[in-house]
Amino acid sequence: MANTFMGRREKARSMATTNPFLSLGVLFSTLLILSLLFCSENASAYEGGVRGETMESDPHQQHSHVIKISDLLPAPVCSTSTSTSTHEGNNNAQTMLKVVHKHGPCSKHSSKQKAKLPTPTQILLEDQSRVEMIQSRFANQVHGSKATTPTHSGRSLGTGNYIVTVGIGSPKRDFSLIFDTGSDLTWIQCEPCVAHCYKQQEPIFNPSKSSSYSNITCNAKECSSLKSATGNSPGCTSSTCVYGIQYGDQSYSVGYFGRETLTLTSSDVFNKFMFGCGQRNDGLFGYTAGLLGLGRNKISLISQTYQKYGGLFSYCLPSTSSSTGYLAFGYQGKISSNVKFTPLLVNTADPSFYFLDLIAISVGGKKLPISASVFATSGTIIDSGTVITRLPPTAYSTLRSSFRKLMSSYPMVSPISILDTCYNFTGYKTVKIPKIALYFRGGIPMDIDSSGVFFVRNIAQVCLAFAGNSDAGDIAILGNKQQQRLDVIYDVAKKRIGFGLGGCS
């Protein structure tokens, strides 16, 4: 039986006009100050086959991690990872970019932003804004009642943790970009900044000094495709297509929609890559130059490079902000047997996201008594930009109860924001924590690395890195904390996604 759920999509609508005589300045003002209109759409359905069967305990599983307290905090210096187990034999990926944490010592921005690093509470508040933005796009009906949703504009929050460096323009210049599977449009800041550009590490890109830059015209079909990628209708000025995107925390980028040469490596160069050349930008982007969109829309990087990479990309997120991971496109050779695949689903309410069929959770080697229908009601996406995994309220309360029982020998302390299961590890050299695994269609396990279990404020306040949604119909989100050190492989062509242990340090 096909896996379905009933829902209502509340899609952001911009008041930006497509009038070709509208000035860019008016469009800027319109995009920033006008509220959104929302529209309802019909019930949506997932692609996919039969849900997985009821899971039993794994007798072969080692049920706990023993971790050093010193490993809970990042080192003050960068430690580069060389482990890449996605493919049999290291470094077999066609194109591999180094991934670093935006706020860690491996980032070239770290020296500038030391005084402005967000507090753990701020990180969680920003994360909640992103989650609310995503969930507002899936205002599901549960038992006949509608979920309450915020009225944010634009797409999901563009303030992810992880960044890569790519080349843009001719001659090529390198820019550090946040990569985000929850966004489609790639954009960077561009000169001249009409009103405002935030501070970034590299010099702002000047399209007039690139021999390969060109604007996309208002009447081009590519211009009209912006609406599905940004949630806002495109504008037009002097026959040039103008985009506007505003995120859940009111961060935004507005500018020209153009084409440019994108260089990932010396042998991976893409001419006429469609991207946003931001003339007015502000928000929580750190010192990065913009955002790299890895969603499923036809203007995303994945779609635009499909002919070369076949819709296949993978990443490994580092275990701490002081270590590195990778983002890879395509592959050579055979994928490691360590990686297990589950179907990658599509929800017609918002096909840009990557959907999974979560069916069960285990704690300490035992499957929790949670009906698979609990996860089917909400649906689940995997997202590189959300930090903390969000679960249906019933699933989270069951997880929390089991985890607390197995951690009863450690003193609990007060919560941090949305995290309500926190411990004081002061005085301990090591701690023993139960392993957690998520199970997807076909019984495919995703064993969470020890680094993905806790969110650490300090040793005296270490919290379980999961949270419950407020409504059973709110979309569940697999966050990046739980993806740390895993090989995560997106195979769009074959409609599958894979997980493997020990991808990076």
Each of the 505 residues of the chain gets a pLDDT tens digit; together they read 334 333 333 333 333 333 333 344 444 443 443 333 233 333 333 333 333 333 444 443 489 999 999 988 877 778 765 544 444 444 444 689 999 887 777 876 555 555 577 888 988 988 888 898 888 877 643 333 333 323 233 344 344 579 999 999 999 999 999 999 988 999 999 999 877 899 998 999 999 999 999 999 999 999 998 988 887 889 898 899 999 988 766 788 999 999 999 999 989 999 999 999 999 998 878 789 999 999 999 999 999 999 999 999 999 999 888 789 999 999 756 778 889 999 999 988 788 899 999 999 999 999 999 999 999 999 999 999 899 999 999 999 999 999 999 999 999 999 999 999 999 999 999 999 999 999 999 999 999 999 999 999 999 999 999 999 999 999 999 999 999 999 999 999 999 999 998 888 7
Catalytic residue among 58, 127, 180, 449: 180
**254 SS3 class:** strand
Residue 127 annotated as catalytic: no
- The closest of 448, 343, 317 to 389, measured between CA atoms, is 448
- The closest of 67, 148, 122, 456 to 284, measured between CA atoms, is 122
> Fold for domain 4-500?
Cathepsin D, subunit A; domain 1 (2.40.70)
For residues 314 and 339, what is the distance between their CA atoms, to the nearest angstrom? 11
Q: Which stretches does DSSP call E strand in 247-348? A: 252-265, 268-282, 290-293, 312-316, 325-329, 340-343
User: What percent of the chain is helix, strand and coil (3-state, nearest 5)?
Assistant: 15, 35, 50
The pTM (predicted TM-score) of the whole model is: 0.84
Residue 383 annotated as catalytic: yes
For residues 320 and 235, what is the distance between their CA atoms, to the nearest angstrom? 41
Q: Which residue stretches of 225-321 are H helix? A: 226-230, 301-304, 306-309
Give 57's Cβ-side CA count (13 Å radius): 11
Which token pair is 150? 């915020």
Catalytic residue among 383, 471, 474, 487: 383
For residues 150 and 129, what is the distance between their CA atoms, to the nearest angstrom? 9
